[in-house]
Chain A
Amino acid sequence: MNTPIGPINPGHPPEIQALPQTGISEILGLVELLKSKGGKEDIYKLAAELKMELGDTLAVIRGAELLGLVHTPGGDVVIEPIGEKISRSRINARKNLLREQIEKLPVFHALISFLKEKDDHQATRDQLLEKLAELIPNENSEQTFTTLVTWGRYAELFGYNDDSQTFYLDSGK
């Protein structure tokens, strides 16, 4: 929350960041709510109005910010044009728009290249957790993994089979 990500500078290798534990529905709900409020709200007021834990609310805002849908100047959360566009779109159009945002995240880039080097473009859960620990040291890899699976499935970039614990590039894309 304290480090707004800002635009990615093409001159420097983008910093790979941990993903907050939050789902797609919450993020979509946030941009829809912001749109209905004229695009801007105080973060603490928002958490109180939603009757959600502040920590959970912050995770949703952090997720939306990573995806470029909102920014957080001071104690406010403000919708970005792409967030506004997503809030106005229908189910499948918003899925496409959000996929484009998810694809831009450096951690997705890193894992797509990692999987492409693997046989069958897949890795076990343990291999992936190891890779995440290497990419994002000092962060909870399990949490990032959970969000990667959720966002990756939604964007149809990654698939995950929990029976075989295999993580793979989604060829459906």
Chain B
Amino acid sequence: MQSEPVLFELRHVAHRFPLPQGELTVLKDICFSAKEGEFIAIVGPSGAGKSTILRLISGLIHPTEGMILFKGQPLSGINLETALVFQNFALLPWLTVAENVELGLEARGMDIAMRRRKVAFYIDKVGLDGYEEAYPRELSGGMKQRVGLARALAVEPEILLMDEPFSSLDALTSINLRDELLDIWSDRDFPVNTVVMVTHMIEEAIELADRVLVLSSRPGHIVGDMLIDLPRPRDKREKVFSEYVDKIFSLIA
């Protein structure tokens, strides 16, 4: 991991929103870089600007101060090498599973034969074979999020961004999806291997990530940057695991 090149970097990034009176500082002096292949989790209370960081990395919004570098180059405009998985799935209800997965590919100007191949490949990868013609309304939350994941993976982004991907799911479904996400991420033949995931659940961050960035709120700033040096699968009942939980909790509280 140490020898991997830096994929992107945030340098003294601040983000402010204008208000009728003055402005609201959402993020203040955010500095961190991510190596290729790293799984980073960002934890913090709501209002700490966690989702804003994802949107800054994707180039959907731009920092008020500071800069973002992608492969050493300053990012301007949308970063097409990112794809986002949403908390509420964000599927189009009138499209089938296969059509939802294809959505991002069409927008990137891929020809139809290639699109169909990619759709079939990623539907298979997330275990959705058999559901191609189903509509989102026919699916459980777990299957909907698999569609969201397949759609993001299908564009083969260099950075997979996940915004609270498991918080709308029941406890058992989220156990299953976390496990399968690790399965996909650890598959080194996969073109997508750098992940940035936002969560408000400390245990989820420690279970999944190589590294946890801890944010404190108002304005959001980094109060901790911790490597999680535990083999996977990680056992919540282990003492080291709860020590990590305590350490992160004390940084936020």
Q: Which residue of A lies closest to B126 (CB)?
A: A91
A72 to chain B, nearest CB (A): 16
Query: A24 contacts B130, CB within 8 Å?
Result: no
**Given A24-B142, A162-B138, do A156 and B129 touch, yes or no (CB 8 Å)?**
yes
Q: Which residue of A lies closest to B144 (CB)?
A: A25
A172 is an interface residue with CB less than 8 A from chain B: yes
Residues of B within 8 A of A (CB): 124-127, 129-131, 133-135, 138, 140-143, 146, 169-177, 179-180, 183-184, 233, 235-237
Interface size class of A (residues with CB under 8 A): 35 or more
**Given A36-B236, A91-B127, A91-B184, do A23 and B138 touch, yes or no (CB 8 Å)?**
no
Identify B173's interface contact among A23, A160, A162, A172, CB under 8 A: A23
Query: B173 contacts A26, CB within 8 Å?
Result: yes
Query: B135 contacts A162, CB within 8 Å?
Result: yes
7 A-B pairs whose Cβ atoms sit less than 8 Å apart in the complex:
A23-B143, A23-B173, A25-B141, A60-B172, A153-B130, A153-B134, A170-B130
The secondary structure that dominates the B interface is helix
Q: Which residue of A lies closest to B146 (CB)?
A: A25
Query: A50 contacts B183, CB within 8 Å?
Result: no
A51 to chain B, nearest CB (A): 6
Q: Which residue of B lies closest to A95 (CB)?
A: B127
Identify A52's interface contact among B127, B171, B177, CB under 8 A: B171
Query: B124 contacts A92, CB within 8 Å?
Result: yes
Query: B140 contacts A25, CB within 8 Å?
Result: yes
Could you say which residues of chain A place their CB within 8 Å of the CB of B130? 152-156, 159, 170, 172
The secondary structure that dominates the A interface is helix
A90 is an interface residue with CB less than 8 A from chain B: yes
Query: B140 contacts A150, CB within 8 Å?
Result: yes
A123 is an interface residue with CB less than 8 A from chain B: no
A121 to chain B, nearest CB (A): 16
Query: B124 contacts A153, CB within 8 Å?
Result: no
A76 is an interface residue with CB less than 8 A from chain B: no
Query: B134 contacts A52, CB within 8 Å?
Result: no
Query: B133 contacts A159, CB within 8 Å?
Result: yes
Could you say which residues of chain B place their CB within 8 Å of the CB of A172? 129-130
Q: Which residue of A lies closest to B169 (CB)?
A: A25
A128 is an interface residue with CB less than 8 A from chain B: no
Query: B133 contacts A161, CB within 8 Å?
Result: yes
Q: Which residue of B lies closest to A22 (CB)?
A: B140
**Which stretch from A8-16, A27-35, A106-114, A132-140 is at the chain B interface?**
A27-35
A160 to B96, CA, bound (A): 12
Identify B172's interface contact among A50, A90, A156, CB under 8 A: A50
A149 is an interface residue with CB less than 8 A from chain B: yes
Identify A26's interface contact among B146, B176, B236, CB under 8 A: B176
Choose among A26, A56, A149, A150 the residue with the greatest number of B CB atoms under 10 Å from its CB.
A26
A30 to B180, CA, bound (A): 14
Could you say which residues of chain A place their CB within 8 Å of the CB of B173? 23, 25-26, 29
Could you say which residues of chain B place their CB within 8 Å of the CB of A155? 130
Chain A stretch 46-85: residues in CB contact (< 8 A) with chain B: 49-52, 56, 60
Could you say which residues of chain A place their CB within 8 Å of the CB of B127? 91-92, 94-95, 154
Could you say which residues of chain A place their CB within 8 Å of the CB of B146? 25
**Given A92-B124, A162-B138, do A26 and B172 touch, yes or no (CB 8 Å)?**
yes
